[in-house]
Structure 1
Amino acid sequence: AGTAAALAPADAVVLAAEDPLAALQRLATAWRRALGAQVIAITGSTGKTSTKDVLAAMLAPHRRTVATRQNLNTEIGLPLTVLSAPPGTEVLVLELAMRGAGQIAELTTISEPDVGLITNVGPVHVELLGSVEGVAAAKAELIAGLHAGATMIVPAGEPLLAPHLRADLRTVPVGPGGELTEADLDGLELPFDSAHMRQNAVAALAAARAIGVEPSGRIEVALSAMRGQQRQMPGDITVVEDCYNANPMSMRAALDDLQRSAPGRKVAVLGDMLELGPDAAAHHAAIGEHARAAGVDVLVAVGPLSAGLAADHTVADAEAAAALLPGLLSPGDTVLVKASRGIGLERVVEALA
């Protein structure tokens, strides 16, 4: 307390606590209740941030909305997001991240959501959770933590979540065969047309409707950094900068988008997917096969795990990839850059700027 007081301005209030983290979390819950805002909590193996960005854009013209910024989605970041909401905030859109069991439950307890949304379940953090069933159980802590009568949005037909659904919640399945599908996006003008982003938009639309908002017209989405933005580089090179995170599901989706949208040669710079557990080698080999099936013309693998991609070029790290790539490119190429965050592939993008 003495150190905190010494660092604070003379007119500041200093709150001393034996457990500062627990105090921060309790303050966030108290402010969430004082605001009286509706809270939408989003988790999932992939697409959390993009879905949050789309939902915030859908809500902004209708409600005073505060959404998670950057990566403030942990046991520290989420309370800071809640506490950043000014008086008069009507909706909080919160991203819930996790790396192990119990963490989603903790974030749900802090935020007391009115609407829960799980984007999907896949082999992410398997190294920590043991199996994809363990991943599903960890994500489903959001379902368990909702109050009776709340709305829960889930991917339609996901068997891994079925054992966790509750009869006292309003469950809304979305996607093919669900209550909401891509057809419900008709009439909305979205700044993207990739399949996985449109699926994220369907889930976001379900969440908006759950709190009585009907989006319409053009949706002005500002996607968070390194989540699939296209950047035009010198030499008529298009870069898809998607190097914030990666797992088998998101890798396949990104490669499918590259196949569909690239007008010229397709170049993929793919780095290691981390925390995949004992099946990591098989997952990387499968991504290499998927890249070839997607018509990738030049495949560059970055990192020891990615050596299993059977790529045209294999390098040890991001620095080596940044040095190699400019010499491989021609005008009109589209370059996908994707890996887990720890690989640091943004350095490859910077080398092309």
Structure 2
Amino acid sequence: MSIGVDIVRGQAIQSIGDAGHIDRLTIMTDSRKSVASGLFVPLVGANFNGHQFLKQAILSGAVAALWMEREPLPDLLPADFPVFFVRDTLTALQSMAKSYLNQVRPKIIAVTGSNGKTTTKDMIFSILSQTFRTAKTQGNLNNHIGVPLTILSMAEDTQVLVLEMGMNHFGELTFLSQMAKPDIAIITNIGESHIEYLGSREGIAKAKLEIVNGLKKRGTLILDGDEPLLANIQTYAYQIVRCGFGVQNNWCIADIVESVDGSRFSLNNQKDYFRIPVLGKHNVRNAVLSFAAARIMGADMETIRYGLEHLHVTKLRFQKVDGLNGSLLIEDCYNASPSSMIASLETLKKLPGFKRRVAVLGDMYELGKNEKNQHKSIAKSLTAPLTHVITIGEKGAWIADGLRETGGDQTIDVRSYETKAAAHAYLKSLLDDQTVMLFKASRLLKLEELSAGLRAKESTNR
């Protein structure tokens, strides 16, 4: 029995070969997650084979499964359980996503960049969901598996789909862009993430620009207009909208005012202010990228203003929570690169009303052969009014080394710990109502496990 690529309707199977009509099946790739009725798609990786977990998938709610032709079926499989053979389950998953997009035909907004993808995606969703039936990437499902899963999870009446697209090698964004065929593509910035694989910031810029390879004719590319590596794009195939702080931009940011509660800004010197409940100039830029996309989609100013003000961002992206003894903790530890860490530090230094500003910084990964110097480069931003710098991990210690080697600000208390547990007691001793403490490191370090132990018992997001 074989399976066609035209079988999917949302989370449902419209028809499967000669099995007749099976409705409302959730696409599932993780056998551990329970669903009401699921189509199990067992994927195969370097260190796993999902075909080994069919029985668990059935217990979790699978009522049908795709199956690679070369894989043996398990013993004692229920006689009435439909199994549909394909050459490759991942390719079938991706083909189903393309087919479903052709059925639903939503407007597609694709977001990539070294930093800020998820926040920008959340901002666009917050604005456009007021007017359109809008879906978005959940969590960080932004690769060759996550993007098709996101597509297949959207409702049949979706009008706008906001897709986050990640990459770490050349060719990956071309594949995702050509799968989704976006109407609007956004490049948030060019940083250092994945420089280990792409060689240089120039290589990163080239890889990010692959997002236009599937952009629809007469589509729009929205980008960071202050980035020199994106300054000389010349094309007649699509429109370019530049956003940033320089006067050369189509949307020029001005009059930024930051507080603990967020940021206020204006555009193109108009005294018409927008507010976002998140901190940092980098997040203001993300908001303007979102603004530009919303304007192209026809959103009016009041809709945009309301959407930005009522934004709910994904966790661990400059998330403010209540700490012990009345302190403020900022969990910005989903990921980190030198440019994003510096941006977070600059925001920390500008927060008004705190006597003690503490930066808890950890390892950054995928920085290539020059990783030690890239960690040490953070030292240039370790200045007053920071009062304490605490580093975690072997690579994180290079940050402290950079500060000591340059003879930096002697007023800052600098300490390094090998583990999160070793730092806990000292960090706890710093917390009172005059303390703001930032946590920033790459995802692998899971620095939120340290901040979790410093939260107030009745902690709430601010």
TM band (smaller chain): over 0.9
Higher RCO, 1 vs 2 (CA within 8 Å, ≥6 residues apart): 1
Q: Does the Cα contact within 8 Å between 1:245 and 1:340 map onto a contact in 2?
A: yes
SS at match of 1:218: helix
TM-score, normalised to structure 1, is 0.93
In structure 2, C-alpha distance between the alignment counterparts of 1:20 and 1:163, rounded to whole Å: 41
Secondary structure of 1:92's counterpart equals strand
State how far apart, in whole Å, the 2-side matches of 1:271 and 1:122 are.
18
Which residue number corresponds to residue 105 of structure 2? 36
C-alpha change, 1:85 and 1:331, in structure 2 (3 Å) is same
Report the Cα distance in structure 2 between the residues aligned to 1:215 and 1:33, rounded to whole angstroms.
31
1:218 aligns with 306
Residue pair 1:267, 1:297 contacting (<8 A) in 2 also: yes
Alignment of 1:1-353 (within 5 A): 4=54, 7=58, 8-9=62-63, 14-162=83-231, 165-176=234-245, 177=247, 178-182=249-253, 183-184=266-267, 186-216=272-302, 217-219=305-307, 220-264=310-354, 265-292=356-383, 294-310=384-400, 312-353=414-455
User: Cα deviation per residue 1:74-128 (whole Å; 9 max; x = unaligned)?
Assistant: 1111111111110110100000011211111111121111100000112111111
Structure 1 residues 118-166: Cα deviation after superposition (integer angstroms, max 9, x where no partner): 0011211111111111111110100233122110001114332345553
Per-residue CA shift, 1:189-231, capped at 9, x if unaligned? 4323531111100000111112222242422111001000110
**RMSD of aligned alpha carbons:** 2.1
- Identical aligned residues as a percent: 37
Which has the higher mean CA deviation after the structures are superposed, 208-217 or 225-234? Answer: 208-217
Is the CA contact (8 Å cut-off) linking 1:188 and 1:215 kept in structure 2? no
State how far apart, in whole Å, the 2-side matches of 1:46 and 1:103 are: 17
**Number of residue pairs matched by the alignment:** 352
Q: Could you tell me whether the CA contact under 8 Å between 1:318 and 1:344 is conserved in 2?
A: no
The one-character-per-residue Cα deviations of 1:252-280 (angstroms, maximum 9, x if unpaired) are 11111111114211000000111111222
**TM-superposition CA deviations, 1:1-46 (whole Å, max 9, x none):** 9975983337886543211111111111111121111000000011
State the SS of the aligned residue for 2:86. Answer: coil
Amino acid at match of 2:294: A
Which letter maps to 2:306? R
Q: CA deviation at 1:331?
A: 3.3
C-alpha distance in structure 2 between counterparts of 1:180 and 1:78, whole Å? 29
**Which moves more between the two structures, 258-267 or 336-345?**
258-267
Matches of 2:119 and 2:144, distance apart in 1:
20
SS across alignment from 2:347:
helix
Q: Is the 8 A contact 1:235 1:331 kept in 2?
A: yes
Return the letter of the residue paired with 2:422.
A
Q: Structure 2: which 5+ runs fail to align?
A: 1-41, 43-50, 65-79, 254-265, 404-413, 456-462
Name the aligned partner's letter for residue 252 of structure 2.
T
CA distance in 2, matches of 1:12, 1:205: 49
- Structure 1 gap segments, 5+ residues each: none
Classify the secondary structure of the residue corresponding to 2:196. Answer: helix
More helix by share: 1
